[in-house]
Amino acid sequence: MTTLFIHIKQLIQVREKGLLKVSGKDMKTLPFIENAYLLIENDSIKDFGPMADCRSTKADTIIDATGKIVMPTWCDSHTHVVYAGNRVQEFVDRINGLSYEEIANRGGGILNSAEQLQNTTEDDLYKQSLARVKQLMALGTGAIEIKSGYGLTVNAELKMLRVIKRLKTDLKIAIKATFLGAHAVPKHFKDNKQGYLNEIATKMLPKIKDEQLADYIDIFCEKGYFDLDDTDFILTEGKKYGLTPKIHVNQFNAFGGVALAVKHKALSVDHLEELNENDIEALKNSNTMPVALPSCSYFLSIPYTPGRALIDAGLPLALATDFNPGSTPSGNMNFVVSTACIKMKLTPEEAINAATLNGAYAMDYSNDLGSITIGKKANIILTKAIPSFHYLPYAFGENCIDKVMINGEFIS
Ligand SMILES: N=CN[C@@H](CCC(=O)O)C(=O)O
Ligand SMILES: [Zn+2]
């Protein structure tokens, strides 16, 4: 089965094999070929180059991409897309003056989502989540990470992770699963945080390992949630079960969580709305990817991650949605890329690098996804006719996508 795209206006993010992430100044370059072709064979990228070099004239499907951009699909390395119901009332409460923290302190927030999820059957949770993931795929996302963390009991956390496993089996999109049992202290452990952490270590992690339900271990390292000792404990316990750390840190306060995550060889540190020099120093000479979540900053009206400072310090940066019912009820990576340019002052080249190759890195997928590279999976966005790739973040809110291909097959 072959598909040949011809006369592509710009084929972007073309890379040699072996490049797993881009950092610092290199993020300003987004290699592309004008008037290009791209040949897909079965589920992989077989060949590409300038039209003048196009030797293949036969394929099962030929697509004339005149005026259009072809690029790798978005790699969304931070989502909570498996959740039950919504938190619309909290949205209205915030408009009327309550803060995110005040809502959480009143028993809303994560605990509200946990209650809704505990009262939802696994099948219903699967259906709600499947609909969301399909929506994201149509918006150009070809790989996602999904977290647990709205269960907060042994059964409900396992329910979430089993739903993620079903999504992995049923959908073509690449999915990584993260265990975020330490998302908040549940009501039944109020005043006994260590009791809950012990439950995670002794009851949840062994079952997760038995059923092979997770790739990563996460914790919400934040004042009022889990401190540095808790984070050290959970990451140590998770690693005993083969789970790599990938954590929520510095959303509202910076107090050493980044350095601790680096010490634990975290794959990524996510949020970073509050960032200081020590955090930046800790990330230098590490393999940990900083991940910014600009839709969360937009929705909560909190500071944007200082992405410019990270890149200017020579570091890499990834962009992700944080799709969840409380702080970011949107999984649209196109909006994330626009917002990173508009609010964080990333160039379109930097933002697209951050949302493709670096996003793939933050899920251990950059050997297979995140760029137009021979041998990588054929996860492709074909845009509508647009002036250039710079138009993608510029035309925020406009749907510029014509078709999305996942593993060599068009899904829309
Ligand atoms: N900050 C922690 N967790 C989620 C949101 C949790 C919620 O409000 O439901 C986040 O990444 O923003
Ligand atoms: Zn999150």
The model's confidence at residue 55, banded by pLDDT at 50, 70 and 90, is: confident
In total, the chain counts a number of residues equal to 412
What integer pLDDT is reported at residue 210 of this predicted model? 98
Query: Are the C-beta atoms of 252 and 302 separated by less than 8 Å?
Result: yes
CA distances from 142 to 71, 133, 224, 320 (A): 11, 10, 35, 13
- Residue ranges of the annotated binding site for N-formimidoyl-L-glutamate are 150, 324, 326
> Residue 412: pLDDT above 80?
no
pLDDT tens sequence across 347-404:
999 999 999 999 999 999 999 999 999 999 999 999 999 999 999 999 999 999 999 9
Establish whether residue 248 lines the binding site of ligand 1, counting it when its CB lies within 6 angstroms of any ligand atom. yes
- Count the alpha carbons within 13 Å of 151 in the hemisphere toward its beta carbon: 24
Q: Which domains does the chain have, with CATH numbers?
A: 2-72+371-410 (2.30.40.10), 75-361 (3.20.20.140)
Listed in sequence order, the residues at least 6 apart from 67 whose beta carbon sits closer than 8 Å to its beta carbon are 9, 385, 386
ipTM associated with this complex: 0.97
Q: How far apart are the CA of 252 and the centre of ligand 2, in A?
A: 13
Mean pLDDT of 14-28: 97
Q: How far apart are CA 331 and CA 132, in angstroms?
A: 8
Percentage of the chain modeled with pLDDT above 70? 100
Position 105 scores a pLDDT of: 87
CB contact at 8 A, 234 and 211: no
- The residue nearest atom 8 of ligand 1, judged by CA position, is 326
Could you tell me which residues are annotated as the binding site?
78, 80, 87, 150, 183, 248, 251, 322, 324, 326-327
Express each pLDDT in 87-132 by its tens digit: 999 999 999 999 988 998 888 999 999 999 999 999 999 999 999 9
pLDDT digits (tens, 9 = 90+) for 125-182: 999 999 999 999 999 999 999 999 999 999 999 999 999 999 999 999 999 999 999 9
How do residues 232-250 score in pLDDT, each as one tens digit?
999 999 999 999 999 999 9
What's residue 9's pLDDT? 98
Residues 266-286: tens digit of each pLDDT: 999 999 999 999 999 999 989
